[in-house]
Amino acid sequence: MDNDIVKFGLAESRRLLFQIKAQLKRLGACRMPALPGMALLGIALPALVLILLVALGGTAAEAYRAPGRPAAAARSSGSATVYPEFRSSFGTIRWISDQMPIKVYIAPGLTLDSIIDPQLGAPMTNVDGRDRWPDLVADVVSNPQQFQSLPIAQGYVPEHYQAALQGINSWKAFERDGLFKFQLVNDPGDADIYVFWTNHFVNKLGLGLFQNDIRGYTAKRSFPYKAIMSGKQAQFKPVVTLLRTTEANGITMPAVKMKASAAHEFGHALGIEGHSPYPSDLMSVYYGRGAISTNDAATIRYLYHLTPDLIP
């Protein structure tokens, strides 16, 4: 009888050990510095913190992609395909029900470009420093005086706000499926996702990236879901989207393109990390037809039925 108890105990221990190992393996994979942002961060951030950056469109964005795409095969359901690129190299990322409704704040035309990194002499919003955007926005919105002094982005027109709102709201269709819930908030001090504006993006040298066709960027910081669920503390930071008010030639971004940009970036904010390889999808680097495609729909549905590896 004692023997049995011992055997049972061993088996239980082994199973537990196996579970712990599996968990460590997964969490360990999350800590691999596979993204350039991690290297920049060094040890300045707790080990739990992960920076996930999503870029949109054009070659610069593609070059920034994390190496080593997931090996998952595309899944088809009818004529729709789940593109595996939705998964980051750290695993799946999505909001969980405890975080809903996700609060979205769209700044009316405000730009953060006037905030200069004293060491770089370039805007804090430079695209090479996207890993710091969540901290930047957290700081700015917690300081009402600074927030109120933010200028309006050059090239911004009020139609851009409506276009962005329409683009973001196109994801409302999935609330009916119970996948997620989000709402627009008017209080800039209390949101999960922030949308700000820029006339054009700059690199860390402050040089304007006029030539490329990147219309937006989204930066998020994510945390291992299992660690959070087991009670680990995390300092959540807002997801930040910047939208460009002008096209490559400097003219005002047309509303129809702005709507597509905002919808695309919101797809990233929801957790579609990579880009669809199918040009007709909104989440491709070509924005598809500017609207959520059947592939995009299948992908977001698939993502929100998975247990996430990470949560924003």
CB of 87 to Zn ion, least distance (A): 14
228 binds Zn ion (CB under 5 A): no
Judged by CB under 5 A, which stretch of 55-63, 163-171, 194-202, 226-234 contacts Zn ion? Answer: 55-63
Q: Which is nearer to Zn ion, 56 or 292 (CB)?
A: 56
Q: Which is nearer to Zn ion, 53 or 56 (CB)?
A: 56
Provide the 10 A C-beta neighbour count for residue 188.
20
C-beta separation of 216 from 243 below 8 A: yes
Which of 30, 50, 56, 112 binds Zn ion (CB under 5 A)? It is 56
270 binds Zn ion (CB under 5 A): no
Q: Largest alpha-carbon pair distance within the chain? A: 82
Burial class (CB in 10 A: 0-12, 13-18, 19+), 207: exposed
CB of 98 to Zn ion, least distance (A): 26
- The string of DSSP letters for 179-195 reads S--EEE-S-TTS-SEEE
CB of 312 to Zn ion, least distance (A): 16
Residue ranges of E strands in 226-303: 239-244
CB of 218 to Zn ion, least distance (A): 7
The rounded distance, in Å, linking the Cα atoms of 201 and 290 is 21
Judged by CB under 5 A, which stretch of 54-62, 77-85, 153-161, 190-198 contacts Zn ion? Answer: 54-62
C-beta separation of 142 from 230 below 8 A: no
C-beta separation of 265 from 216 below 8 A: yes
Q: Which is nearer to Zn ion, 56 or 270 (CB)?
A: 56
Residue with nearest beta carbon to Zn ion: 56
136 binds Zn ion (CB under 5 A): no
297 binds Zn ion (CB under 5 A): no
Partners of residue 208 on adjacent β-strands: 202
Contact residues: Zn ion, CB under 5 A: 56
